Structure 1
């Protein structure tokens, strides 16, 4: 039952954001850029009794994933402006995201041993 509540609340929030984006793409984009998924996930994990250490590790993982996500969005914006189809733009973005994460991991491993 709790899973269904999480899904319903999350779906409603996504629906609200997309409706705002239909009326105002810029406002919708700014709202979508809010860390809604991260905060919702932290909230649900907290409600389910996860330890502060676990929550901190999750938040750190989100932080490490942020630069790659920004790169993904950059690629999607550039691809769409270049008139690539949305599906292809998403594929380029996801590939760039994965490549960025691998590069980031290699750089961190090189710097910090």
Structure 2
């Protein structure tokens, strides 16, 4: 339980740091958020817990393929805000665009039997 609490604390501190940094500098907050720190932490935690580099590599491969459709959020959300949508509707539109992009990627994976996720 102590290891789990440490994982939660480290991850929460990272998110809080990004949020606080973003208040002072959008660029600095974005830069820290854009770094794959969460993914790195997840890979370290997984390897530490399982000792399996293969499982960590499979996770990294899955993260790579899912990062691509998640970029839809970062196109739709700011575009929606720019045209006058409120924060919450724009956020929802960004999340919806991401979910749709995930569905397209999964559909392509199934259609062409690419095996992107294992």
Structures share fold, TM-score greater than 0.5: yes
1:110 to partner: Cα distance? 3.8
- What is the CA-CA distance between 1:31 and the residue it aligns to? 1.3
**1:98 match:** 99
Deviation at 1:87, TM superposition (A): 1.5
* Displacement of 1:33: 0.8
Aligned match of 1:85: 86
SS of the equivalent of 1:48 reads: helix
Decide whether the 8 Å contact of 2:69 with 2:102 is kept in 1: yes
Partner of 1:25 in structure 2? 26
Shift of 1:67: 1.2
Deviations 1:18-38 (A, max 9, x none): 111111011111111111111
Question: Mind listing any 5+ residue stretches in structure 1 that lack a counterpart?
Answer: none
Matches within 5 A, 1:21-100: 21-100=22-101
In structure 2, runs of 5+ residues without a counterpart are none
C-alpha RMSD of matched pairs (Å): 1.6
Give the Å deviation of 1:107. 2.9
Q: Which runs of 4+ in 1 moved over 4 A?
A: none
How many residues get paired? Answer: 113
